[in-house]
Structure 1
Amino acid sequence: MMIDPGVIRWMLDTDPALRWQVERDLLEEPEAVWQATRARVATEGMGAELLAHQDPDGQWAGGAYFPGDFDWHGPEAADGAGQPWTATTWTLNTLREWGLDGAALDGTAEKLAANSRWEYDDLPYWGGEVDACINGFTLANGAWLGVDVESIATWFAEHAMTEGGWNCEWVEGSTRSSFPSTLNSLKGILDWEIRTGDARLREARHAAQDYLLRRRMLHRASTGELVGPWATSFGYPFRHVYTAMNALDYLRRASLHDGVAPDERAADAIEVVRSAQQPDGTWLQQRRYPGRVWFELDVPVGERSPWLTFFALRVLRWWDENDAR
């Protein structure tokens, strides 16, 4: 697909966390070029700012998934107030997704092992807990930082639902897979598989992908209706929210890792992403997920988002180039 050079220049005129990915995946620059930009994530811009907020004990905001000062009975915990995004797991997720070299966090894994506990049952950080999404994040972050998180890999093998995915509410008795829980699990498993070379969860990963693909990435199996309005409303950062763009970004990476062509059952989701493109070739920030942040990572709602534009163009290029072949 053709990409407007002006849109490329606009995306390049951003933070190194995005710029190196544009160089690698859209411009196909030599590795030395994009690696040099990637190295700057640790010392410049948003990456350096997030690193500066780390606590001496290795955590961020004094907590594993929630800030240490989170008031479970206050207004921040009320419905609609939003998950705070400042604690350790969310910050690690962001830095990992931005391509930060794990060496920039030297000693962090050990500090978290010693000092960080999950809010659920005070469980040790690198052992994970009972939530599939949290365990997916921790599996990926552990692999990135060189931690032995094989117990979490075993947990995923033992907790897959019969229809193929996962559900964070299994502890409440749910036996049905969930779109968001499955996607967050898949992203973590794939990242762990790529970083470690361990393929023990590949069969489970493929079964979970098929759970989503049988539903054309967007629809309920029972009625064929859209799984929820959140699936077609795009915001960056993706956080834990299931959207067509977030799911397709995963599917692209899995397809490239597995060496297979795009699955035609994702065509509906592709068209949702394609139809959101603006006449100037960009995508708009359609929503923001409420909650405490260190600082905003992208533009306000209604403005042109360089991050969403990048993810959309990368997914569409992968789909269209395979379609052409």
Structure 2
Amino acid sequence: MTSAREILDWLLDSDPSLRWQVERDLLGTPPEQWEATRARVTTEGNGATLLAQQGSDGQWEGGAYFPAGFFGSPESEMPGQPWTATTWTLKDVREWGVEASVLAGTAQKLDRNSRWEYDDLPYWGGEVDVCINAFTLGTGAWLGADVSALAAWFPEHQLADGGWNCEAEEGDSVRGSFHSTLNAVRGMLAHEQFTGDTSLRASRKRGEEYLLERRLAFRLSTGELVGAFVTDFVYPNRHRYSALAALDHFREASLHEGSAPDPRLADAIEMVRAARHPDGTWHQGRTLEGRRWFDIDAPEGQPSRWLTFLALRVLQWWDAAR
């Protein structure tokens, strides 16, 4: 599998949650074609499987971030965490293109029934972790929940360097984190896309500048690579940073705003190019431990349809602008 046509055929031979995006973003098919494929996400394959697991209270596995009864259970002593509770499941189906109307009433049910494991706080108000709040902001905007108070949280908790850090709330850090900052700006962009509210744009731009100043990969102080995680591409990445995940965000923001790619993305682009294997695909990185509903993508070390799609989409956008 080395020719472009063979790779595209391989990507098209996939779950509707991926196929419709291949049709739209790589092939440029007419809207009626990819929209028809997108509609299938709710009725077959991965999307339908996750939607079928929703409880009558609006939650998945009875919990906000962790399944009900997780703490104190034997599973809590195992590596990783389950990726099956409400926040993670909603994040998946949102990113796969499920229409909010399919989940009509879910925002209200979560408002009534779901509380964060941290201090029993109400779901749509978020909690203290910036990554959790970012996922909740994007999902709440998608489902039509009132997340105005949560939106105001982000500028208030932005650090002096323009980034965010999950450890800052515990007083353990005053410096931004690549992981936390990317999740924050992605959540704010999703909020703007779903609601049309641009009040967070200035804060988001400061966060994006934090990453751009570091060329998406390097320490500002020394110029050294910030960590091996930068080039360890994995899908689903959940909360983990990589150069590919960051480029995917900057592509989305660029298209949303009608702006050209920032030249400071060039180093990260070359990291993506260098990660391509001789078979023309990108391979799955170190997957996150923990129980999941099912395996969404390839095992570690194997050709990944999702990563190949994301990489090709980013490179196509970059190269077209050049």
Same fold (TM over 0.5): yes
* Counterparts of 2:236 and 2:164, CA distance in 1: 22
Gaps of at least 5 residues in structure 1 are none
Give 2:160's aligned residue: 162
The C-alpha deviation readout for 1:53-96, integer Å capped at 9, x for no partner, is: 11111101111001112134746345xx1121000000000000
In the alignment, is residue 143 of structure 1 matched against residue 113 of structure 2?
no
- In structure 2, the CA distance between the partners of 1:72 and 1:241, relative to structure 1 (3 Å rule), is farther
Which range moved further: 213-222 or 2-11? 2-11
Give 1:274's aligned residue: 273
Secondary structure of 2:37 counterpart? helix
* Counterparts of 1:161 and 1:200, CA distance in 2: 18
In the alignment, is residue 15 of structure 1 matched against residue 15 of structure 2?
yes
The C-alpha deviation readout for 1:251-285, integer Å capped at 9, x for no partner, is: 10011112111111111111111111122221111
Give 1:322's aligned residue: 321
Q: Which residues in structure 2 correspond to 1:50-199 (within 5 Å)?
A: 50-72=50-72, 74=74, 76-77=76-77, 81-173=79-171, 174-199=173-198
Which range moved further: 221-230 or 35-44? 221-230
Give 2:258's aligned residue: 259
- In structure 2, the CA distance between the partners of 1:312 and 1:59, relative to structure 1 (3 Å rule), is same
In the alignment, is residue 245 of structure 1 matched against residue 244 of structure 2?
yes
CA displacement at 1:115 relative to structure 2:
0.6
The C-alpha deviation readout for 1:134-181, integer Å capped at 9, x for no partner, is: 111011000110111011110112111111111111111121111100
RMSD: 1.3
Which range moved further: 6-15 or 252-261? 252-261
* Counterparts of 2:7 and 2:136, CA distance in 1: 35
Query: Normalised by the size of structure 1, how large is the TM-score?
Result: 0.96
> Taking every aligned residue pair, what percent have the same amino acid on both sides?
60
Give 1:234's aligned residue: 233
Which range moved further: 170-179 or 93-102? 170-179
Write the letter of the residue equivalent to 1:169: E
Write the letter of the residue equivalent to 1:71: F
Gaps of at least 5 residues in structure 2 are none
- In structure 2, the CA distance between the partners of 1:26 and 1:3, relative to structure 1 (3 Å rule), is farther
Write the letter of the residue equivalent to 1:209: E
* Counterparts of 2:144 and 2:63, CA distance in 1: 21
Give 1:6's aligned residue: 6
Give 1:29's aligned residue: 29
Paired residues, number: 320
- In structure 2, the CA distance between the partners of 1:288 and 1:86, relative to structure 1 (3 Å rule), is same
Give 1:298's aligned residue: 297
Secondary structure of 1:286 counterpart? coil
The C-alpha deviation readout for 1:14-43, integer Å capped at 9, x for no partner, is: 000000000000000111110000000000
The C-alpha deviation readout for 1:219-245, integer Å capped at 9, x for no partner, is: 111222211111111110011000011
* Counterparts of 1:15 and 1:77, CA distance in 2: 33
Query: Normalised by the size of structure 2, how large is the TM-score?
Result: 0.97
Give 1:41's aligned residue: 41
* Counterparts of 1:65 and 1:303, CA distance in 2: 29
In the alignment, is residue 213 of structure 1 matched against residue 212 of structure 2?
yes
Write the letter of the residue equivalent to 1:139: L
* Counterparts of 1:73 and 1:67, CA distance in 2: 11
Write the letter of the residue equivalent to 2:274: S
